[in-house]
Amino acid sequence: MPFIDVTSTSAIAPGTAKAFVVGDREVAVFNVDGAFYAIENSCPHQGGPLAEGFIDGKVVTCPWHAWCFDVTSGTMTLGGFTHVESYDVQVAGSTISVSTEPRS
Ligand code: FES
């Protein structure tokens, strides 16, 4: 499965996220205590930008209406009736790359 380089590790501080275009998708990459995780950037509720959400540990809260997701898996942390796609992340040296296909 191909990976696309998106940024350097220093560009995403711990506890923050940034959005990148990966192929034909927009993906939010999170730094959780130095480990990097990627989920789709569009909230399944109404498309809120998850990279701009409130981040507490491995949970991001959508900035629009506060649905919450585990950024390590894409699972919803309250309710669990939906999820966001998650993507494998590779770090080589200081370069972060993200899979072009979601995890199955
Ligand atoms: S768009 Fe994310 S909670 Fe509504």
Segment 54-79, tens digit of pLDDT: 999 999 999 999 999 999 999 999 88
Please, are residues 27 and 38 in contact by the beta-carbon 8 Å criterion? yes
Ligand 1 centre distance from Cα of residue 55 (Å): 15
Cα angle, residue 19 at apex, residues 86 and 84 outer, rounded to 5°: 25
Average pLDDT of the segment spanning 29-45: 98
The number of the ligand 1 atom at minimal distance from the alpha carbon of 43 is 2
Ligand 1 centre distance from Cα of residue 49 (Å): 8
* pLDDT over 80 (residue 85): yes
Average pLDDT of the segment spanning 25-47: 98
**CA dihedral angle for residue 28, residue 29, residue 31, residue 35, rounded to 10 degrees:** 140
The number of the ligand 1 atom at minimal distance from the alpha carbon of 50 is 2
CA distance 104 to 81: 17
Ligand 1 centre distance from Cα of residue 94 (Å): 32
| pLDDT score of 80 | 86
Q: How far is CA 69 from the centre of its chain?
A: 10
Binding-site residues, ligand 1, Cβ < 6 A: 43, 45-48, 62, 64-67
Q: How far is CA 16 from the centre of its chain?
A: 10
